[in-house]
Structure formats: C-alpha cells, structure tokens
C-alpha cells in the first residue's frame, strides 16, 4: 500500500512522515483509541469528489470519543472541514477512504480512561474494494463471539475491540471464505467483522437491532431508508437466528468499506438461488448512484470536496 503524502495531525496538515507517536502511547498499548471510516466518491459527470454522510460519521466518531472520555473542541462540521482540507491538499481526484483516529496520546503506564491526554488524526488514501467478491461473497459463521456491550461496547468503534474483528476475519480468510458472520453471546447473528448484515425473507428486509452488539452503521441506516423509500420494502429490526440464513431468499452486508456486498454462500450452502438476488442488486445500483452524488433525492447525504 502506498503511504499518503499528508496527514492531519496535532491540529494541522503535515507530511505523513511527521505524523508519528512514541511506543509508550497509551492507545498503542491499551487499545484506547476510537476510529472512523468515511469514503469520498468521484462523480465522473461533474468531476467532483463527494464525501458520503460525513456529518453522521463524525457525530458517531465524537460520540465514541465521549464514551472513552476524550473531549475535543470539535464538531461534525469542523471535522468534515479538516477532511476536506486534507483531501484538497493531497490533490486526490479519485475515490478515497478517510480514516479519522482519536487516541489516548499520553506516554504513560496505567490502564484507565480518566486523566489521560488525547489527540486525533485524519489520513486519506485512494481506495477501491474492501471485499473483492462483492457480488458473490462466501461467508462462514465464526467460532468467535461478538463483544458484548458490557465487555467493550460495539457501538463505540473502539480500537481495542477490533482485535475481535481481526480474529474473526483471519480465521475466515484462512479457511477460504471472504468474510465471517459473528454471533452474539445469546447466539443470534450480530454482524460481519466490519459490516452490518441484512436478510430478505418473503419480501421483508430484516437486520439485527442495535441491541445485538452491532456497530450502528451509517451504511446500514442509509440502506434501511433507501429500501423503504425506493423499493417500498418493510424493514424490520429483530434478532436473526443462524439457520434463518440457510433458508432465506437473500443475504447481504453493508459498510463504508464493504459498501453493499451480496453474500451467495453461507457455510458452503447457497443463499437463495446461489447468485446475487434482485433486492441486493437493486440496492447496490441505488447505493452507488447515491454515494456518487447522482441521485437528486439524496443530495443532502453528499458533501462536495
Ligand atoms: N460493523 C463494524 C464492526 C464495522 O467496523 C463497520 C465499519 N465501520 C460497520 C459495521 C459498518 O459501519 P458503516 O456503515 O458506518 O461503515
């Protein structure tokens, strides 16, 4: 991977090589960071880049900071502006992925959240697909369990919690799958290692509710709204049992990185007909138009760089 040229670091844009921390940094040792992932998409018609729902991403990011007792003099609007400044300075004219990271920056020994200094940084880099098989993904059910809200809150997008996602993803990929779905302690489907999940059964769209230890995904929320408004579908948030996906009509995952990824096999069993279904296909089409700023009904989700 090519390293970015610039980073937003300690309240200004600096060459990426200057955005460095010491090995004693609290977050590096204890996982006391929180992060986000935002995309900017190129619109080939007008040549502009559009950030997708950056205010919602940064609202979640600042809420994650709050959870971890990190207090910055920032708003979703100011964070969006730093992001725009960074992308402009970097001169990107293609799709980019933006990674904001807030971290306990004091170089001290001591596991705690209170009275530890914090900083944040933003980097941006060109980015394509995260799941390469995004119309035909094969997944398994992970033997790892999703972290519980009372262990490390999933809604917080906390760096340390992603060791859980890393276990899930590596075992899945080493077994030849594209991704794995993970169960809650109670045994219901929660999400993928870095994606929310959706199931179609008899024309209804189901997704695990926020109490199922999911990250409250911005893409998830967008897809729920688009499915209701554009496809006239009923969208229901409820627990999903693992065997429901053996018999459902369609299954797909959503996320900033994964976008809308159709799952066509679970544990070597075909999902529905074993090919991407009409709902996932239609939602992908709508999604890519919306994120590229080509759908006038959703223009308020696009922020021009
Ligand atoms: N769940 C997890 C665990 C994730 O890391 C992500 C990626 N941020 C998502 C779901 C999808 O969230 P979003 O649509 O906001 O990117």
Q: Residue of the nearest CA to atom 11 in ligand 1? A: 255
CATH 3.30.470.10-classified regions of the chain: 6-126
Atom of ligand 1 nearest to the CA of 165: 3
Q: Is the CB of 256 under 6 A from ligand 1?
A: yes
Residue 1 predicted with pLDDT over 80? no
Question: Using CA atoms, how far apart are residues 153 and 237, in angstroms rounded to an integer?
Answer: 19
The mean pLDDT of 238-244, rounded to a whole number, is 95
Q: What is the mean pLDDT of the chain?
A: 96
DSSP states along 167-179: HHHHHHHHTT-SE
Domain boundaries 6-126, CATH class: alpha beta
Q: Is the CB of 217 under 6 A from ligand 1?
A: yes
- What amino acid positions are annotated as catalytic residues? 157
pLDDT score recorded for residue 164: 96
Name the percent of the chain lying above pLDDT 90: 97
pLDDT in tens, 58-82: 999 999 999 999 999 999 999 999 9
DSSP states along 166-229: HHHHHHHHHTT-SEEEEE-TTSBEEEESS-EEEEEETTEEEE--GGGS----HHHHHHHHHHHH
pLDDT score recorded for residue 129: 85
The mean pLDDT of 237-248, rounded to a whole number, is 95
Q: Is the CB of 207 under 6 A from ligand 1?
A: no
pLDDT in tens, 104-144: 999 999 999 999 999 999 999 998 888 888 999 999 999 99
CATH 3.20.10.10-classified regions of the chain: 137-291
pLDDT score recorded for residue 2: 83
Angle at 263 between CA 261 and CA 265, to 5 degrees: 160
Question: Using CA atoms, how far apart are residues 210 and 154, in angstroms rounded to an integer?
Answer: 10
pLDDT in tens, 3-37: 999 999 999 999 999 999 999 999 999 999 999 99
Compute, in angstroms, the gap from residue 155 CA to the centroid of ligand 1: 9
Domain 137-291 classified CATH 3.20.10.10? Answer: yes
Name the percent of the chain lying above pLDDT 70: 100
Given ligand 1 and candidates 172, 195, 261, 283, which is best to mutate, with the most ligand atoms within 8 Å of its CB?
195
């Amino acid at each position: 991977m090519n390293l970015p040229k610039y980073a937003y670091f300690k309240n200004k844009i600096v060459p990426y090589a200057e955005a460095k921390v010491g090995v004693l940094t609290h977050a590096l040792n204890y996982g006391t960071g929180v992060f986000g992932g935002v995309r900017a998409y190129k619109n080939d018609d007008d040549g502009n880049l559009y950030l997708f729902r950056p205010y919602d991403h940064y609202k979640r990011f600042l809420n994650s900071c709050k959870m971890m007792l990190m207090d910055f003099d920032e708003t979703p609007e100011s964070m969006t502006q730093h992001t725009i400044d960074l992308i402009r300075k970097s001169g990107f004219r293609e799709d980019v992925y933006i990674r904001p990271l807030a971290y306990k920056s004091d170089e001290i020994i001591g596991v705690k959240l209170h009275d530890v200094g914090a900083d944040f940084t933003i980097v941006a880099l060109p980015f394509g697909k995260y799941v390469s098989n995004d119309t035909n993904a094969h997944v398994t059910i992970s033997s790892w369990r999703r972290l519980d809200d009372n262990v490390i809150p999933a809604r917080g997008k906390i760096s340390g919690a992603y060791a859980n996602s890393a276990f899930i993803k590596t075992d899945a990929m080493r077994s030849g799958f594209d991704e794995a779905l993970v169960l809650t302690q109670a045994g219901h489907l929660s999400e993928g290692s870095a994606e929310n999940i959706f199931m179609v059964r008899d024309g209804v769209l189901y997704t695990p509710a926020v109490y199922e230890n999911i990250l409250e995904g911005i893409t998830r929320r967008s897809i729920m709204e688009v499915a209701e408004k554009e496809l006239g579908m009923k969208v229901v948030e409820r627990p999903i049992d693992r065997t429901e996906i053996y018999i459902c009509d369609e299954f797909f995952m959503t996320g900033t990185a994964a976008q809308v990824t159709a799952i066509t096999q679970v544990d070597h069993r075909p999902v529905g007909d074993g090919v991407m279904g009409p709902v996932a296909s239609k939602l992908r089409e709508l999604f890519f138009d919306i994120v590229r700023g080509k759908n006038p009904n959703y223009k308020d989700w696009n922020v021009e760089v």
